Amino acid sequence: MRRIVLARIAVLAGLLGGWELWASRRDPLLYVPPSRVWPALGRVLGLDAYPTLVTHFGVTALEVIVAYVLAVGLGLALGFALGLPRHVGEIYEPILSALYAIPSVVWYPSLMLFFGLGPASKIAFGVLLGFFPVVLAVLAGIRSVDPHLLTVARGFGAGPGTCFVKVVLPAITATLLAGLRAGLALCVVGVLVGEILGARRGLGYLINYAYGLFRTADYVALALLALVLVLVIDGAAAWAEGRARRWTEGAA
Amino acid sequence: MDRGRRVSPGRRRLLQAVSIGVLVAAWELAARAGWVDPLFVPAPSAVAGAFRVIGPEAAGVLGETLGKTLVAYALAVALGVGAGLLIGGVRYLHDVLNPFLVALYAMPKILILPWILLAFGLAATPAVVYGVLQGFFPICLLVAGGVRDIDRTPLLVARSMGATSWQLYCKVVLPAVLPAVLAGMRLGIVFCLLGVLVVEMFGGIRGMGFLLVSLANAFRAPELFAATALVSVLSVGVVLGLERLNRRLGHWR
C-alpha cells in the first residue's frame, strides 16, 4: 500500500515537473508552468485581481442550487408518475433513455433562445442535465423491486401507502442515491458549461474573461478553483450518500 | 407496481408511437391556438417547413461536424481501449493510476476548453482534441473495469491446458472484455459528438454547433428546432445502431 502511495506521488511529481520544464520554454502567453500558477492562485484568492470573485462565486452556487432542486423535484415526480402505475414505465423508459443518448449540448442554443443570456438559461441547462439520472434511477429502482415482496405485503393487508413506504422505498434507496449524486455532478457541469458558453456573471464568466484578456495564469488559477468546487461538491455528495445508505440499512 | 405479464414488444412500440404522436399534436394545437409564443416555440408544422429552408446548408454543416467527430472517435476508441486493456490487465498500473483517471474523468472538461482553443487555433484541430478528451476517459474506465471483472476460472483452465499467453489473450481475454469495449464505444460516440459540438459553439466559425448558436442568436426558432432535431435523431440512431450491433455480437459469442 505504501509503495503504491509513493508511486502515485512520484507520478504526480513527474507530471508537475515535466509540465514545468516543458511549459517554461514555450510561449508564456499559452503555457503556464506550475511555478506561475501558485502566485496567480494567491492573487485570485486574495481578491486582488478580481475583487468581485465572491459575487461571481455566489451566482454560480445559487444557479447550481436552484437547478439541482428543480432537477430532483422534476426527476422524482416524473419517475414515480411513470414508474408506479402498471406497465407505464416499460413504455416510456426507452424513450427517456433514447433522449439521454442525445449530446445534451444541442439543447443549449434553444434554451438560450427561451431564457436569454442570464442565469435562467444556465439553470435550465443544469436542470436538463441533472434531471435524467434522477428519473432513470427512479425507474430502474422501481423495476428492480421484487414483485413477490409486494404480493406478500398485500396478502398481509398492506395498502398502497404502506407498500410504498415499507417495500418500494427501501428497495430503491441505493439506486436512487446513486442517481441523485450523478444528477448533482451533472447539474454543476451544466451550469459551468452554460456560463462558459456565454454569460455576464458567474465563475464560468470570470474564467472566460481572464482567458479573453490573455491572463492565462489567472485563467488556470480560476479553473483550478472551479475544479476544487466540483470535487468538494462531489465529495460532499459521496459522504451524504454513504450516510443515507447506512441510515436506511439500519432502519430496514 | 404489480408487474405481472409484460407488455408485448409490438404493443409497446405502438403505445410509444401513439404517445409521441399525441404530444406533437398537442404542441401543434397549442401553437395554432396561440397559447405559446411562436417566436420561441414554433409549431411542429413550422419546424417541418424549416427543414426545407435549412436542409441543404444543415446537411453540409452536419457532414463537417460528423467528420471531426469520427476522427475524434477513432482516436478516443484506439487510445481508450488500449489504455483500458493495459491498466485493467496490469494490477500495479491500475492501483497507481486509478485515482488520477477517476479525477480526470470527474473533471468538467469545459474548464480546459478556452486553453484548447488558444493553443490549437480555430480550425478542426481543437474540436478533435476536445472530442478525444471527452471520449477517452469513459471508454478507458469502462474497458479497464471490464478487464478487471472477467471471470478468472476460464483463464486458469486454459492455462492448465497449456495455452500460451498469446492464445490466452486472443481466445479468453478478448471475448470476455468485448462487452465492456462495446459499452465504451456506445458511450464514447455521444461524448465525442458532444465535445465537437461544444467547441463549435464556443469558438467555431463553422460546423453544426456554430449553426445552432447562430440560429439562436438570430431568433430563427423554427430553423433552430429543425437543426436540433436533426442532430438529435442522428445521435439516437447511431446509439441504437451500436446497441443492436452489441446485441448481435452477444449472440455470436
Report the gap between the CA of A60 and the closest CA in chain B (Å): 14
Reference B193, options B15, B31, B65; nearest CA is: B65
pTM: predicted TM-score of the whole model, two decimal places: 0.85
- The answer to whether residues A222 and A195 touch, using CB atoms and an 8 Å cutoff, is no
At A4, the pLDDT band (50, 70, 90 cuts) reads confident
Report the gap between the CA of B171 and the closest CA in chain A (Å): 32
The DSSP annotation for chain A comes to -HHHHHHHHHHHHHHHHHHHHHHHTS-TTT---HHHHHHHHHHHHTTSS-TTHHHHHHHHHHHHHHHHHHHHHHHHHHHHHHHSSTTHHHHHHHHHHHHHTS-GGGGHHHHHHHHTTSHHHHHHHHHHHHHHHHHHHHHHHHHTS-HHHHHHHHHTT--HHHHIIIIIHHHHHHHHHHHHHHHHHHHHHHHHHHHHHS-SSSHHHHHHHHHHTT-HHHHHHHHHHHHHHHHHHHHHHHHHHHHHHHHHHHH-
Report the gap between the CA of A147 and the closest CA in chain B (Å): 6
Average pLDDT over residues B211-238: 87
Model pLDDT, residue B72: 94
**For residue A180, is pLDDT > 70?**
yes
At A42, the pLDDT band (50, 70, 90 cuts) reads confident
Average pLDDT over residues B197-220: 85
Average pLDDT over residues A98-109: 87
Residue B151, chain A, CB below 8 Å: the answer is no
CATH code given to domain B68-205: 1.10.3720.10
| Average pLDDT, rounded, for chain B | 83
Counting every residue written for chain B, the total comes to 253
- The answer to whether residues B242 and B182 touch, using CB atoms and an 8 Å cutoff, is yes
Average pLDDT over residues B114-133: 86
Is the pLDDT higher at A48 or at A22?
Answer: A22
Reference B233, options B49, B28, B20; nearest CA is: B20
**For residue A67, is pLDDT > 90?**
yes
Residue B101, chain A, CB below 8 Å: the answer is no
**pLDDT tens for residues B32-41?**
877 777 777 7
At B136, the pLDDT band (50, 70, 90 cuts) reads very high
Q: A with B: how many residue pairs have Cβ under 8 Å apart?
A: 147
ipTM for this model: 0.83
**For residue A22, is pLDDT > 60?**
yes
Closest residue, chain B, to A12 (C-alpha) = B100
Question: Among B6-20, B164-178, B193-207, which is the least confidently predicted range?
Answer: B164-178
At B5, the pLDDT band (50, 70, 90 cuts) reads low
Closest residue, chain B, to A199 (C-alpha) = B202
Highest mean pLDDT out of A45-49, A139-143, B166-170: A139-143
- Separation between Cα atoms, residue B182 and residue B186, nearest integer Å: 6
Model pLDDT, residue B9: 80
Q: Is B225's CB within 8 Å of A110's CB?
A: yes
Q: Is B239's CB within 8 Å of A101's CB?
A: yes
Q: Which of A12, A90, A168 comes nearest B12 by C-beta?
A: A90
- Separation between Cα atoms, residue A49 and residue B1, nearest integer Å: 58
Report the gap between the CA of B157 and the closest CA in chain A (Å): 30
At B1, the pLDDT band (50, 70, 90 cuts) reads very low
- The answer to whether residues B183 and B142 touch, using CB atoms and an 8 Å cutoff, is yes
**For residue B2, is pLDDT > 50?**
no
Highest mean pLDDT out of A131-135, A220-224, B99-103: A131-135
Q: Is B198's CB within 8 Å of A145's CB?
A: no
**For residue B150, is pLDDT > 90?**
no
Report the gap between the CA of A169 and the closest CA in chain B (Å): 12
Q: Is A105's CB within 8 Å of B219's CB?
A: no
Q: Which of B100, B190, B213 comes nearest A101 by C-beta?
A: B190
Average pLDDT over residues A28-46: 80
Residue A24 grid cell? 517554461
Average pLDDT over residues B219-247: 86
Residue B229, chain A, CB below 8 Å: the answer is no
Q: What is the 3-state secondary structure (H, E, C) of chain B?
A: CCCCCCCCHHHHHHHHHHHHHHHHHHHHHHHHCCCCCCCCCCCHHHHHHHHHHHHHHHHHHHHHHHHHHHHHHHHHHHHHHHHHHHHHHCHHHHHHHHHHHHHHHHCCHHHHHHHHHHHHCCCHHHHHHHHHHHHHHHHHHHHHHHHHHCCHHHHHHHHHCCCCHHHHHHHHHHHHHHHHHHHHHHHHHHHHHHHHHHHHHHHCCCCHHHHHHHHHHCCCHHHHHHHHHHHHHHHHHHHHHHHHHHHHHHHHC
Tell me the residues of chain A between 104 and 163 that have a Cβ less than 8 Å away from chain B.
104-110, 112-114, 142, 145, 147, 150-151, 163
At A250, the pLDDT band (50, 70, 90 cuts) reads low
Average pLDDT over residues A179-204: 87
The structural domains of chain B, with segments of one domain joined by +, span 68-205
- Separation between Cα atoms, residue B179 and residue B187, nearest integer Å: 12
| Average pLDDT, rounded, for chain A | 85
Q: A236: number of CA atoms within 13 Å, CB side? A: 8
Average pLDDT over residues B206-215: 87
Report the gap between the CA of B216 and the closest CA in chain A (Å): 5
Instruction: Please report residues of B whose CB lies closer than 8 A to that of A106.
Output: 197, 212, 228, 231-232, 235
Q: Is A98's CB within 8 Å of B236's CB?
A: yes
Model pLDDT, residue B3: 47
Report the gap between the CA of A18 and the closest CA in chain B (Å): 16
Average pLDDT over residues A68-96: 87
Residue B42 grid cell? 414554433
Residue A30, chain B, CB below 8 Å: the answer is yes
- Separation between Cα atoms, residue A158 and residue A71, nearest integer Å: 32
Is the pLDDT higher at B191 or at A83?
Answer: B191
- The answer to whether residues A141 and A171 touch, using CB atoms and an 8 Å cutoff, is yes
Find cell 439500519 and name the residue.
Answer: A250
**pLDDT tens for residues B15-71?**
888 888 888 888 888 878 777 777 777 878 877 887 888 878 888 888 888 999 999
Residue A126 grid cell? 443544469
Q: Residue B23, class by beta-carbon neighbours within 10 Å (0-12 exposed, 13-18 middle, 19+ buried)?
A: exposed
Average pLDDT over residues A201-213: 84
Residue B221, chain A, CB below 8 Å: the answer is yes
Instruction: Please report residues of A whose CB lies closer than 8 A to that of B231.
Output: 102-103, 106
Model pLDDT, residue B253: 56
Q: Is B110's CB within 8 Å of A104's CB?
A: no
**For residue A21, is pLDDT > 50?**
yes
